[in-house]
Amino acid sequence: MKAAVLREINKPLEIEDVQHGKPGPREVLIRTAAAGVCHSDLHFQDGSYPYMLPAILGHESAGIVEAVGSDVTYVKPGDHVITCLSAFCGHCEPCLTGRMSLCSEPELQRGEDEPSRLAKGDEKIAQFLNLSSFAEYMLVHEHTVAKIREDMPLDIAALIGCGVTTGVGAVIHTAKVEAGSTVAVIGCGGVGLSAVNGAALAGASRIIAVDMVPSKLELARKFGATDVVNASECDPVEAIRELTSGGVHYSFEAIGLAATAQQAFKMLRFGGTATIIGMIPVGTMVELHGPEFLMERKMQGSNMGSNRFRVDMPRFVELYLQGRLHLDDLISKRIRLEDINKGMDDLRTGEVARSVIMFDQ
């Protein structure tokens, strides 16, 4: 199969012919239909987050089941599925206490003494975040897939695999935004726009989108933003305090920078909560001042929207088909696998919400 392989940090991905294994007892082979190009992939390509190399990147995807292992009962060949990097074991403490997105049990990967799921001849290729979506096929554990209805377009469904689940989930699961509250979202890429949409679904009375790109701020209005702030023209903290008479109840940082994480905290009213969604690079320190905590302001992280993805993803599909999740506007470009490096470069400019690789093009 064709796949985009990362062999060196800060180098382009290479389109290569690689092999996938046969499904083990609890594994599923999926023919990839579509894969979103997510900013998280860029973090690993540029070395902000270390990973084993060589690896096939990609983690936001949807496809059709080709084959299943002997013990798999959840899906069958022909089923349409969305994948999720938050593989769960179902029996560890995080899983049993309803925090499945925090599961990290090693049993979800193959052991060192087993054949690699991905290889090129005798060379092992690392599987990225349980998935490796930048490839024509994915061989995964059954606990990385959510079955969905077949009338859902798979290019749109792929977005639910990461960006939508992360952004909407941070609002409704991690922060538990209440109806009537005020919300600010910093960063209007795919995840940030999904957080804006999530805040609208949650019934927030005022949703303020913050970015430096005018076109993305206009797009945020389609997703439910009631106000927008161009951070290149003003201090976003002061602007939001002025718009809300003192600050918002909830803020969300969807870029991954220390400066914007600090802004997210400073724009809170007393008792407010800042949720950091963006992937702040390893080793980066976020500075907060002690007195700012005295009035019960909080800062917290969110991992993949604190998801329960087998429940959440089919629900998000229904919300899209009802016209309440605005996923069509998230796709800026549809590209081929061979165009992956252009798709990664587009992320660096900040001009696109999402490029989606279509594997039938």
CB-CB contact of 261 with 267 (8 Å): no
Query: Is residue 43 annotated as part of the catalytic site, yes or no?
Result: yes
Residue among 20, 39, 43, 249 flagged as catalytic: 43
Q: What is the mean pLDDT of residues 55-83?
A: 98
Query: Is residue 103 annotated as part of the catalytic site, yes or no?
Result: no
Burial per residue of 210-220, b for 16 or more beta-carbon CB atoms within 10 angstroms, e otherwise: bbebeebbebb
Q: 217: Cβ–Cβ under 8 A, 6 or more apart, which residues? A: 188, 209, 211, 225, 228, 229, 230
Query: Is residue 39 annotated as part of the catalytic site, yes or no?
Result: no
Residue tagged 């193959």 (tokens): 110
Identify the band that residue 361 occupies on the pLDDT scale cut at 50, 70 and 90.
Answer: low
Q: 228 pairs with which residues across the strands?
A: 209
What percentage of the chain carries pLDDT values higher than 70? 99
Helices vs. strands in the chain: H and E counts, helices first: 10, 20
In order of their start, the domains of the chain are: 2-161+306-358 (3.90.180.10), 176-301 (3.40.50.720)
Residue among 38, 84, 95, 103 flagged as catalytic: 38
Instruction: Say whether the peptide bond before residue 94 is cis (omega within 30 degrees of 0).
Output: no
- pLDDT for 266-305, tens place per residue? 999 999 999 999 999 888 999 888 787 888 999 999 999 9
- pLDDT for 334-344, tens place per residue? 999 999 999 99
Indicate whether 352 pLDDT > 80.
no
Residue among 84, 95, 103, 162 flagged as catalytic: 162
Distance between alpha carbon 357 and the CA centroid of its chain, in Å? 16
Query: Is residue 141 annotated as part of the catalytic site, yes or no?
Result: no
139 vs 162: CA distance, rounded Å: 18
Residue among 59, 80, 249, 326 flagged as catalytic: 59
pTM of the model as a whole: 0.94
Query: Is residue 245 annotated as part of the catalytic site, yes or no?
Result: no
Residue among 20, 39, 40, 116 flagged as catalytic: 40
Q: What is the mean pLDDT of residues 132-146?
A: 98
User: Residue 130 has what DSSP assignment?
Assistant: T
